[in-house]
Amino acid sequence: METTDDELLKNKKHASQLEPIEVRQEAVRGFVERVGPSDLRTETPRLQDVYGPTATDPTIDGLLVSQETLAGAKAIDAIRSQNGLKSLRTYVIDLISNQLTLAQLDQLNLKISSTQIRAWLDSH
């Protein structure tokens, strides 16, 4: 699991609220250790371009995305096809809502995003 490098995040809204990459890498490792199988080895190299190794590594066979990043998964598959690699199995996860109910049609308006969290932190 790669962690997005600071350079790719510098133009994000409220970037001042982002934790340093080392903190984010440790958070990813800690999460995987808590929820993953005990024998899972976790590495968190820095993602330094938007495609990372998914576009060129033949050993990668799956990708976990949200509905809003699904287009990126399709772009990765197009590059993999150009590189003669098989398509990735794409797993789409639901967004987390900041409301009590999550209506399918309003899902994108109800989501909690990292940008919203950073905006709140900036204002408090």
Within 13 Å and on the Cβ side, how many CA atoms surround 69?
Answer: 15
Q: Is this prediction's pTM over 0.85?
A: no
Residues contacting 74, CB < 8 A, separation 6+: none
* Spatial CA neighbour of 53 closest among 21, 27, 88: 88
Q: How far apart are CA 107 and CA 104, in angstroms?
A: 5
Number of Cβ within 10 Å of residue 55's Cβ equals: 19
Report the pLDDT value the prediction gives residue 71, as an integer from 0 to 100. 93
DSSP-assigned beta bridge partners for residue 93: 66
- Per-residue pLDDT 10s for the chain (124 aa) are 788 899 999 998 998 899 999 999 998 888 888 887 878 777 788 889 889 899 999 999 888 888 888 999 999 999 999 999 999 999 898 766 555 455 555 555 556 677 777 777 778 7
Alpha carbon 6 to its chain centroid, in Å, reads 14
In the prediction, which pLDDT does 114 show?
A: 76
